[in-house]
Amino acid sequence: MKNTALILSFFLVLASCSSSEKCEECELENANDTIVKDTISSLDDALKAEKVETKSKEQQENLQKIEKKYGEQWDFCTCVVANDSINNAFEKSPSDKQAEKLMARWEHVELKCKEFLTQPNTTPEERAIHEKKVRKCLKNR
């Protein structure tokens, strides 16, 4: 659902951009360049602060399968912070060029967060636990 919203936001940004920019739009683009650079910088900082969490045997086996297919995976909080940063950058109405950079970064994050996407959260209890973990990650960044 979150990925769908991100993709829709991306296409909305592309549809709203025009080829003849006014000076105000140029200034907005320069401000958005700064936002994109800050987002990438914060993602890099998050990667450096990876935490190790204990996993069940089933989770470890699942991680091994995912890593065999997609390569080394990031921890939960790194994925949360990375996705949140990208979503925040998209909310700032980036230019087409910035949106392309963000989409490329999002694709990279998606490859590194496959395990994150396979975690169960179908019951109300699992969703509540998941939301609590997400809030904790965002609070600690």
pLDDT of residue 36: 58
The pTM is what?
0.57
Characterise 91 by phi-psi region: left (phi > 0), alpha (psi -120 to 50), beta (else): alpha
pLDDT of residue 57: 84
Backbone angles phi, psi at 71, to 5 degrees: 95, 180
pLDDT of residue 30: 62
Pick the more confident residue, 126 or 9. 126
Query: Token pair of 45, please?
Result: 């900082």
pLDDT in tens, 85-135: 999 999 999 999 999 999 999 999 999 999 877 777 778 998 898 899 999
pLDDT in tens, 33-76: 666 566 556 555 555 444 445 667 887 888 899 999 999 999 99
